[in-house]
Structure 1
Amino acid sequence: MSSAAAIAHDPVHAARALVPRLRALSPRIERERRLPLEIVAELASTGFFALCVPRSLRGEEAHPTTLIRVVEELAIGDAAAAWCVMIGATSGLVAGWLDRAAAEEIFARAPEAVAGGVFTPNGRAVVVPGGYRVTGRWAFASGCQHCAWLMGGCLVEEDGVSRPLKHRIPDSRMLIFPAAEAHVHDTWRVVGLCGTGSHDIEVQDLFVPRERSVSLLTDRPRESGPLYQFPVFGLLATGVCAVALGLARAAIDEFARLARSKRPTGSARTLAERPAVQMDIARAEARISAARSYLLETVAGAYECAREHGEVTLALRARVRLAATHATLSAAKAVHQMYQAAGSTAIYEMSPLQRYFRDVHVVTQHRAVAPATLELAGRMLLGLDTDTSML
C-alpha cells in the first residue's frame, strides 16, 4: 500500500489518534534527544512524511492546510515529533522539482524512507563531469539520525569561482545525498525541542550526481499541481507555526486540567474559580483561535490562487508569511499566559507546562517566523520597495 493510501481516509484524524502515545513518550524523546525509531517507523508508515510528495510518486500531495492541521495535532502530543514530521514532509517538496528518475530513487522506491536537510547554502558544490563535488557543514538538520536521505544548500563553483545567475546573484542549489554519506556532529544540546535531534551534518568532497541537485528558487517545478506553485518558504513557515499552535492548544488544555483541581496555598478556591484566571484562559483561547483562523484562511486563499493561476501573487505570499509569524507569536503568548497562571506548579519537571514553555520559545527563534517577516509584510502594505527574494 502506498503512503498516500495509508492516510487517505483522514490524515488529521490519524495524527489525532497518535496524540496519547506521543504524549506518553515525550519525556523519553526529550531525554534521548531524538525520536525513537519505532515512532519514526509509525509516522512514516502512516504517510506523514509523504504529505508533500507528488501523487505521481505515491505521495499525498496534500493541501497546505492539511499539513498545518496534521502538524498541529501531532504537536499537541509532542512538539519534537511534530517538528520532525514538518521537516520531513516539507523536504518532500523537492520531489516536485527533481529529475524524474532521481525523484523516484529517493521518494518512490521506498516511500516510507525519510528525507531531511537544510536549505541554507552553507556548502560548496564544485562542478565536475556528471555532477558536483560537495563539501559543507549544516546546522539545524532536524531528524538527521532517522533520515535515509539528506540535503544541503550549496553555492555552486565553476572554474574556481562562484557561478553567477541573473543580476550576478550566486547560483545556490540543494544537493541530495544518502544520509550514510554524512557525518553527524552531536551539537543539539538546547533548551527546547530537544527531541528533534537537530545536529550539524557534514560531508567532505562528496560526489553528487547532477540529477540530485535542484534550486527551488530558480528552477521550474516538474510537477504542475498547485502545491508546487505555492511559495516554498511560505509553506515552511506555516509548518513552523503549526507546531506553535499545537503547543498552545496543549498548554491551554493542560492548564484547564490543573486549574480545576489546584488550590493555591491559603485559598479555599481552586484556580478555576478565580475571575482573573477565567479571563486569562479566555484570552488565550481567543488569541490562538483567531490567529489559527487567519492562518488557515490566508493559506487557503494562496493555494486557490496557485490552482487558478499557476502562481501566487507577491501580496498573497507576504500575507502567508505575516499570518504564520502572527500565529507563532500569538501561540507563544498564549503558552506564556498559561505557564504564568499556573504558578509554581509549572516550574517542576513533572509539569508539561514547563516543556511547552521551553519548546514554543525555541519555535519563535526560527528565521521563517522571525520579526523581520512583519517588517517585510508591513513594507509591502505601505507600498514601499521591498526585497521579496525570500517570498
Structure 2
Amino acid sequence: MTLKLNRLIDDPVRAARAIAPLARALRDETEHQRRLPPPVVDALVAAGLFRMWVPRELGGAEADPRTLVEAVEALSAADGAAGWCLMIAAGTSLSSGYLPSAGAREIYGDPASIVGGRLVASGRATRVDGGYRVSGRWGFNSGIDHATWLIGGCVLWEGDRVLLRPNGAPAMRYMFFPKAACDVIDTWSVGGLRGTGSHDFTVEDALVPDERSFSFDEPCLRAPLYRLPPFALLAPAFSAVALGIARGAIDALVELATHKAPCGSGALLRDRASAQAAVAQAEAQLRSARLFLLDAVDVAWGDTLAGRPLTLEQRALLRLAATHASTSAAHAVDLMYAAGGASSIYTTSSLERAFRDVHTATQHVLGQSQNYEAAGRVLLGLEAKITPPL
C-alpha cells in the first residue's frame, strides 16, 4: 500500500479515499485503544496527508483549502476519529508558513514529522536571550500519541505583568516543543471521537528558541495559502469532519434499511415512508450545507489568488458556512439515528458511533452558536466580537 500511496502524494483527496477502507476496518481498534492504530498513521504519513499545508519547498503539498476540506471529509466518512486527527495535523501544518525558516526546516523538513498541540494560550512565556522560557498545560491535544511535535499557545509576560498588544489584548505567541520533552497526561475519557486520544500535556520552565516560536500576525512565506487569515482556513477544515461523519451515517442507514424489517412489520425499513423522508431530508441538508461551504472556500481562494485580501464580510461568510455545515451535518446524523430505530443504540452500530462523534465534533468552539451571532453582526454592519477571530 505504501508504494501506491506515495504515487498519490500530489493528490490528497484520492489518497484519503484510498486510506478510508483501512481506517474503517480498524475503527473498532481505534475506539478501544483511544488512538489511531500504527497502520493508519503510517498510511497517512506515506501519503503526505499530515503535511497538506506544508510548503512545497519543504516537501509538503501546499494544498489549496478545498483540497484539505475534501480529503478530511473523505477520511471522516470512514472514521470520524481518523478524520479529526488528520484535520488537526494537516491544519496545524499551516504554521510552517509562519515559522522562521530555520524552525520550519527543523520541524517540517522531516517527511515523518507530525504536529499536534493546541493554539489556545494556556501557557506562560517570558522573553530570554535567544528565545522564551515557557510553562503551561494544554488540553485537547488530538493525535498526541502519534505526534512528534506539539504546539502550545502562550501569553507573553514580562516580570509580573502581561504584555499587551496595541488593541489592549494580551500578547500571544505559539511555541513548538518536541513531544518527547513534554509530559503527557491521560485525560481523554469521553463519549465521542474517542480514537483521537486528545490528552493534556505540560511543560515546565522549557527553553524554546526563537526559531521554534511564531505568531499569526504576519506569515514568513508569501505564497497564497499563507496570505489567507488563519482561522478563515481552519474553520472549514473543522467542519469537514462533521460533513464526513454525516455522509457515513447516511450510507449506514441506507445499508441498514435494505435488510432490516422493523418489529411488527413484514416490510423492510426502506419501504417505510418515514425512512424515505428522513434519508431525503438528511441528503438535502448535507448537500446544501456542503455546497455553501465549498462555495465560500472557493470564492475566498479565488480572490486570494488574484491578490485581493478577504473582506470582513467574506471572513464572516466563511465562518458562517463552516458552522452551518457542522450543525447541518449533526442534524442529518440525528435523522439517521432516529430512522435506524433500536438498531442505532448498540455500540456495534455505525449510527451510534456517528451520533457520538458528530456531537463531540460540534462542541468545538468553531461549531458553536456564537459563530452565527458573529456572522450576523457583520451582516448587520456591526463589529464582530468573537474568539477565535474571523
TM, length-normalised to structure 2? 0.96
Does the CA contact (< 8 Å) of 1:348 and 1:354 recur in 2?
yes
Does the CA contact (< 8 Å) of 2:9 and 2:48 recur in 1?
no
Distance in 1 of aligned mates of 2:377 and 2:158: 37
Q: What letter corresponds to residue 136 of structure 1 in structure 2?
A: G
Segments of structure 1 that go 5 or more residues without pairing to the other structure are none
Q: What letter corresponds to residue 146 of structure 1 in structure 2?
A: H
Deviation at 1:169, TM superposition (A): 2.1
Q: What letter corresponds to residue 177 of structure 2 in structure 1?
A: F
SS in 1 for 2:13: helix
Q: 1:327 to 1:156 in 2, by over 3 A?
A: same
Q: Does 1:172 align with 2:172?
A: yes
SS in 2 for 1:154: strand
Deviation at 1:233, TM superposition (A): 1.4
Does the CA contact (< 8 Å) of 1:126 and 1:158 recur in 2?
yes
Q: How does 1:303-342 map to 2 (within 5 A)?
A: 303-309=301-307, 311-342=309-340
Deviation at 1:387, TM superposition (A): 2.6
Deviation at 1:116, TM superposition (A): 1.1
Tell me which moved more, 191-200 or 305-314: 305-314
Deviation at 1:276, TM superposition (A): 1.8
Q: Which residue of 1 aligns with 2:196?
A: 196
Does the CA contact (< 8 Å) of 2:156 and 2:163 recur in 1?
yes
Out of 276, 279, 284, the residue aligned to residue 277 of structure 2 is 279
Does the CA contact (< 8 Å) of 2:19 and 2:43 recur in 1?
no
SS in 1 for 2:348: coil
Distance in 1 of aligned mates of 2:111 and 2:309: 28
Q: What letter corresponds to residue 119 of structure 2 in structure 1?
A: F
Deviation at 1:363, TM superposition (A): 0.6
Distance in 2 of aligned mates of 1:322 and 1:85: 23
Out of 241, 256, 260, the residue aligned to residue 243 of structure 1 is 241
SS in 1 for 2:376: helix
Q: How does 1:121-270 map to 2 (within 5 A)?
A: 121-216=121-216, 218=217, 220-270=218-268
Deviation at 1:234, TM superposition (A): 2.3
SS in 1 for 2:206: strand
Q: What letter corresponds to residue 93 of structure 1 in structure 2?
A: L
Deviation at 1:168, TM superposition (A): 2.6
Out of 293, 296, 299, the residue aligned to residue 294 of structure 2 is 296
Deviation at 1:388, TM superposition (A): 6.2
Distance in 2 of aligned mates of 1:310 and 1:162: 35
Give per-residue Cα distances to partners, 1:12-55, cap 9 Å, x unaligned: 11111222211111111000001112321211111101100111
Does the CA contact (< 8 Å) of 2:371 and 2:386 recur in 1?
no
Q: Identity rate of aligned residues, in percent?
A: 46
Does the CA contact (< 8 Å) of 1:6 and 1:45 recur in 2?
no
Distance in 2 of aligned mates of 1:364 and 1:388: 17
Does the CA contact (< 8 Å) of 1:225 and 1:307 recur in 2?
no
Does the CA contact (< 8 Å) of 2:242 and 2:330 recur in 1?
yes
Does the CA contact (< 8 Å) of 2:238 and 2:366 recur in 1?
yes
SS in 1 for 2:174: strand
Deviation at 1:106, TM superposition (A): 0.5
Number of residue equivalences: 388
Q: Which residue of 2 aligns with 1:57?
A: 58
Does the CA contact (< 8 Å) of 1:87 and 1:116 recur in 2?
yes
Q: What letter corresponds to residue 383 of structure 2 in structure 1?
A: D
Q: What letter corresponds to residue 89 of structure 1 in structure 2?
A: A
Distance in 2 of aligned mates of 1:311 and 1:7: 32
Q: How does 1:71-82 map to 2 (within 5 A)?
A: 71-82=72-83
Deviation at 1:208, TM superposition (A): 0.3
SS in 2 for 1:166: coil
Segments of structure 2 that go 5 or more residues without pairing to the other structure are none
Distance in 2 of aligned mates of 1:223 and 1:281: 45
Deviation at 1:158, TM superposition (A): 1.9
Q: Which residue of 1 aligns with 2:18?
A: 17
Q: What letter corresponds to residue 74 of structure 2 in structure 1?
A: E
Q: 1:260 to 1:5 in 2, by over 3 A?
A: closer
SS in 2 for 1:184: strand
Does the CA contact (< 8 Å) of 1:18 and 1:77 recur in 2?
no
Q: Does 1:89 align with 2:90?
A: yes
SS in 2 for 1:177: strand
Distance in 1 of aligned mates of 2:220 and 2:191: 40
Q: 1:205 to 1:332 in 2, by over 3 A?
A: same
Does the CA contact (< 8 Å) of 2:343 and 2:349 recur in 1?
yes
Does the CA contact (< 8 Å) of 2:154 and 2:175 recur in 1?
yes
Distance in 2 of aligned mates of 1:40 and 1:357: 24
Deviation at 1:224, TM superposition (A): 1.0
Q: Which residue of 2 aligns with 1:35?
A: 36
Distance in 2 of aligned mates of 1:159 and 1:251: 53
Deviation at 1:9, TM superposition (A): 4.7
Give per-residue Cα distances to partners, 1:349-375, cap 9 Å, x unaligned: 211110000000001100012110000
Q: What letter corresponds to residue 102 of structure 2 in structure 1?
A: A
TM, length-normalised to structure 1? 0.96
Q: Does 1:375 align with 2:373?
A: yes
Q: What letter corresponds to residue 97 of structure 1 in structure 2?
A: Y
Q: What letter corresponds to residue 183 of structure 2 in structure 1?
A: H
Distance in 2 of aligned mates of 1:27 and 1:388: 37
Q: Which residue of 2 aligns with 1:348?
A: 346
